[in-house]
Structure 1
Amino acid sequence: MDVAGYRPRTVVSGGPLELAVMWGGFPLLGAGAGWLLAATTGWLARLPWVPFGDLVEWLDRLPEPQATAGTVAVGVLAGLVVAGIGTAERLIVTVDAAQVRLRRSDQDRAVARVDTRAVFLADKHLVLLDGDGAELARESTDLPAAKLAEAFRAHGWSWADDDPHQSAYRLWVPDLPGLPAGADALLRARERAIERDRRDDARELRRELALIGVVLRDEDKRQYWRLTARAVAPEPEQATSAEREPDGR
């Protein structure tokens, strides 16, 4: 039987106010944008540089009040879509003395305190590290650092104000020595994924690199890396011709 329900716990989330803002505010903003578009189509249609000029001209020819009602309805619908995406992406963190649960609409995972050496917030990501410096979890979030720190510390977790391995990261450049076998190819592929904004591919490649002991930090589309204590042995450096032939021939 799961006894987690009987332990004191702390929940950190955006709360009802965040949901009210998303489901009330975004549709209102969409409605306002739709009304503004309907009110300015005549002016916009006369501007040669306006994108989607044909659509703007078509809207300008629609009769009123149907045109305004239609654009407002589309704006509200767009706002609801944004609110739905925001709700799905919001992270709910539930902390107790034994574990932390990280929940989104499409996932619900738990990480045990006994497996966790450090917890911190970096680049709007909640990160949990194990004793070897490997990442147990990395979740994007806009939750306040102060609330997260208070929740974890209240239940005895090792909260760090910054990444304890910050100084160990090195900027990745192609063919850099010291990386495990296969890491350079994965980093090249991930660089392409980042440049093309393929976030799912970039996340999958991050997981592949973690399996061979490489931890990443992104900064302005640049990749910084460090090795964990159980990293796979680095690739051997290419021997020079002089090393292969002692006589230099």
Structure 2
Amino acid sequence: MKNLLIIILFVFNITKIEAQIPSQEFDKVKMEYKGTKAVQAKLLMRHVEMWGKISEKEAKLDAAYLDLLISSIGITKEQIQKYLSFKNITNNEIGGDINSPISSVTAGGKKVFAKYFVIHDVSTPALEHNFPQDINEESWSFNNLDRWNKKVTHVYLARTGKSKTVADFSEGLRATKFELKKLGIPSRGLYIHIELIQPRVYPPGNAGNAPVAPKPGFTEAQYERLALLYICSSFRKGEWLVPAFHANIDQGLNDSHDDPQNFETQKFTDKVMQVLLDIKKY
């Protein structure tokens, strides 16, 4: 009887893990996902497969990065400003002035600053055959940030590593199905959104739903600038934001998205650690 009970509990726990969907792990009172930052990051950064399929039980995140999540920011305003000046990076490229507060929501009657850093890809243009050879170059027209103005994100990030702010990090946006359809207006300001430029190819699929992304999915320059955006947004909050993938946030919802495709989490976390070290040199 005892052995049977153990088997039943074991099966129950497996089922629970397999059924884990972020929207079901969200506490609307606290306006956050359940668990520590490490638990949340492992849930929200699970690898996104073609068509938005998510098979991982939890993301494989570097131990050093998980330690970083619960540590202090560890850099000063002066260090960031000197780094930005040396790199000739303007406020318009990093979500606004680092002296300004980040967006916020109300939770439990209190003002709570943004908690999540959401990584998207634009999934466009949809190409019928092959990717152009110059998709990572200035010559590819979709890397021209002048064409990206729609305020469905805070920052657009081209494959060249250049970025453009269309909404300051202090401005609350809703850019996922979960925010728009489930949480509603009270969630405006809980998430910081970043759109990475990435084209797609079909078939399979079609021009309205092209599933094939380039490999590698993103460039080294994109990862480096994404790391800087993450650091700057976290600095403005005063603690590290929890990174998340769009597809994980919307998992299980109707018409959910499949982005970002072919994202290499280790490259991102390595860049965060490296850029942080570079900033500390100033």
TM-score range, shorter chain: under 0.3
- Of the two structures, which has the highest relative contact order with CA contacts closer than 8 Å and spacing of 6 or more? 2
**TM-score, length basis structure 1:** 0.26
Which structure carries more strand by proportion? 1
Which structure carries more helix by proportion? 1
**TM-score, length basis structure 2:** 0.24
Structure showing greater radius of gyration is: 1
